[in-house]
Every structure is written in C-alpha cells, then in structure tokens.
Amino acid sequence: MQEVTVLIIIKMYSMKRTIDSYNDFNLRGKVVVITGASSGVGRAAAVEFAGHRAMLVLAARRIDALNDLVTECEQSGAKAIAIQTDVTDAHAVIQLAAAANDFGGRIDVWINNAGVMAAGGFTDTPVEVHDQVIKINLMGYIHGAHAVMPYFKKQRSGILINNISIGGFFPTPYAVGYAASKFGLRGFSEALKGELHAWPDIYVCDLYPAFLDTPGIQHAANYTGKILKPAPPVYDPKKVGRAMVRIALHPRKSLTVGGVAYLLRLGYFLVPGLMRFVTAKVMETYFSQAEPTPATSGNVFAPLDFGTNVHGGWSMTPQVKKKSINTGLLLGGLAASFLLIRQWRKTR
C-alpha cells in the first residue's frame, strides 16, 4: 500500500512538472497587453507574465514608471515595450493595439486594468469627477475591448481579461461614481460574452478581487475631508497578478480573488439592504474618527508622480499571522452586521 501511495505521489509530481512546463511553453512569446501597468495590480501582473517569458506591451499615463518596469521585465528574460496611453482616448487605445500587433505579430492576451477611485459624498464630489471616473473605469475598458476585438476575430482567438473588483457586485457608499463604473463593467462584459458565442476561442474573463494593498488609495480623489485607508483585510496584489496568469493559461468566465470578496458577494446577494446600511455606517464611523485632510482630485484627471510600486504599504502584519487576523475581522464584521439588523429594519 505504501508503495502504491509513493507511486501515485511521484506520478502526480511528474504530471505537475509536465503541466508547468506546458504552461511555460504556452506563455513564452505570447503578446500580452496590460493597461494601468505603472503600479499596483498592473505592475504585479507584468512581473508575473515576465517570469513566463511573455512579450509585454505595458500601457499607462506615466511613461517614466513604465520604462522602469520594462527594464525590470527584461531582467527576467522577457521582451517588453512601454506605450504611454490614456484609456479615455479611444484613438490612443486603437494605436496601442496597433503597436502591440506590430511588436509581436498578433495579440494573445489583453488585460483591462487601468482604474481610479473617488471617495466622498455624492453631491460633495464634483460631477466632473464622477464623469472622469466612469470614463476611465468603464469607457477605458470598452475602448480596450473595442480596439483589440478585431485582432482577436482575425486570429479567431484571444483572451480579454477585465479586472473589475468585488465592487462589481458590492456597491460602496461614498464612492458612487466608482460603484456605477464597476456595476457597468459587469454588464458590459456579460453582454459582450453573449455576442461572442460564435467565437469559441475568444474568451472574456472577469476578475473580482477583494481589497488590495496597492497605491490606489493614495492616488484616489478624496472629498470626504478625511485621510483614506483601505478596509482590512487587504490582499497582496501579486495574488491577482498570479490569477491573471492562471486565466491566461486556462481561461474561465470569472474568478473571485480573496475570501472577503466571496463573503461580500454572498452577503449582498442575500441581504442587500442590510449590507448597504452596515457599510455606510462603518464608513461614517471611520470618517468621524479619521484625521482631516484637504479635498483633492487625486489622479483622476492627471497622473501623480508618486506611488509606482506594486504595494501601497497597508499590509503591516507578518504573512504568517494574516490569515488568523483576517478570520477574526470577518467574524467580528458578521457579528456586528447581525447586531445592527434591528436598527436597519427601523430605517426601511
């Protein structure tokens, strides 16, 4: 019996090595376009794909940050180019797709990732900020899909990855424009999948990660009057980068990343009113205690010259302890939700 077990383990290990080798072979030389690559998830994804020797086309508004990333990717043995791109400009995104096709002779994977955030009361936030958030987060993705789809159809294959976030299922009070863009992205992607039923080798894949430790919160437009911090627990953006690689190797319609994302998605499905009420109360409590700060449009209209790393510096606990801490936070949050249910019912 022990000999059989050992043989099974050896066989499984051999299969894993074969699959890993096959995966490396699949991504080697594949042309991968990543928007919003200058920091956070985009930068993490670029590094992950570089490890698989993909040919990377890195796009963002900050060309200096992209050039630094190109050097980092080339040190891993990958080929990479930087294309300064504003995804709100449909013509610029068309040029990005053409440059990617010229670079590698085709486009295999297109990752829609560029995004911004604006926090603040709905009427406290200037309407032009809401407009721009939706232009970047929603229209930027539509521009990307519209630019790359003709190449995919000509090739009869391709993978479009939309990094949507759990915000596509869970609305965030005091970030109305952001929530609108994320819900809109989910509808856009589902409709596009319906149109592509006759193209079995063209995949549209959606990612729904939980809160991440990226510089995004430092970059955010902020009209709350208080310093912003992400809600714990926050996940390593490298986790999302690895998920993008997995989807590129084995496409699937959607993937939720992080245990909190599953819980929030389930909670909003079961008790949407309660979840909205609790979230608003938690945020209002935070705003009442946080340190003041002046209003800012952040990076919504123009890029900022700081925060070009993968991480934002929010994960302060050792990785070994993080799971137990996160579990405690989740249980505490669920308990608080049930304690607030009576008050919520009175406000309906």
What positions carry a catalytic annotation?
A: 178
Closest CA to 238 of 79, 83, 51: 51
How far apart CA 240 and CA 243 sit, in angstroms, is 5
The distance of Cα 139 from the centroid of its chain, to the nearest Å, equals 16
Q: With contact defined as beta carbons under 8 Å apart, do 248 and 32 qualify?
A: yes
C-alpha atoms less than 13 angstroms from C-alpha of 164 in its C-beta half-sphere: 32
Which ranges of 116-175 would DSSP assign to H, the alpha helix?
127-134, 140-155
Closest CA to 257 of 41, 93, 69: 41
Closest CA to 163 of 257, 260, 66, 80: 257
Q: In DSSP terms, which residues pair with 56 in a beta bridge? A: 32, 80
Secondary structure tally for the chain: helices H, strands E: 13, 9
How far apart CA 160 and CA 147 sit, in angstroms, is 11
Angle at 329 between CA 260 and CA 266, to 5 degrees: 30
Token readout for 225 is 């009057």
